[in-house]
Amino acid sequence: MIGVVAILKVQPDKAADFEKVFLDLAAKVKANEPGCIAYQLTRSRAEPGTYKVLELYASEDALKAHGGSDYFKAAGAAMGPFMAGRPEIEYLDAVE
């Protein structure tokens, strides 16, 4: 399994717009990616405008399929104007 933690900084006045786009993406991921075990947007309690996406994939192929999907690419473009910086992405290997 492969874990991903994505830290996303959003402009404070754009949070609702960002959440709407992301939640639409999350619904598509959950409906179309059986190799995606978890895909959850969370909002920081300590840092306003900071979101963390917690992701878990069954395999490297599942992770690649996610990043290559048309709806992921479209959501990234749609979220761009709401961002307050580049995403920080950390990839993790499951300990089993």
Question: Would you kindly state where each structural domain of the chain is located, as residue ranges?
Answer: 2-93
CA atoms within 13 A on the CB side of 71: 15
pLDDT at 96: 87
Give me 1's structure tokens: 């399994």
| Architecture of the 2-93 domain | 2-Layer Sandwich (3.30)
Q: Give the residue among 50, 21, 48, 27 at the shortest CA–CA distance from 39.
A: 27
pLDDT at 31: 96
pLDDT at 8: 97
pTM higher than the cut 0.95: no
pLDDT along the chain (96 residues), means of 10: 98 96 97 97 96 97 95 95 96 94
pLDDT at 82: 97
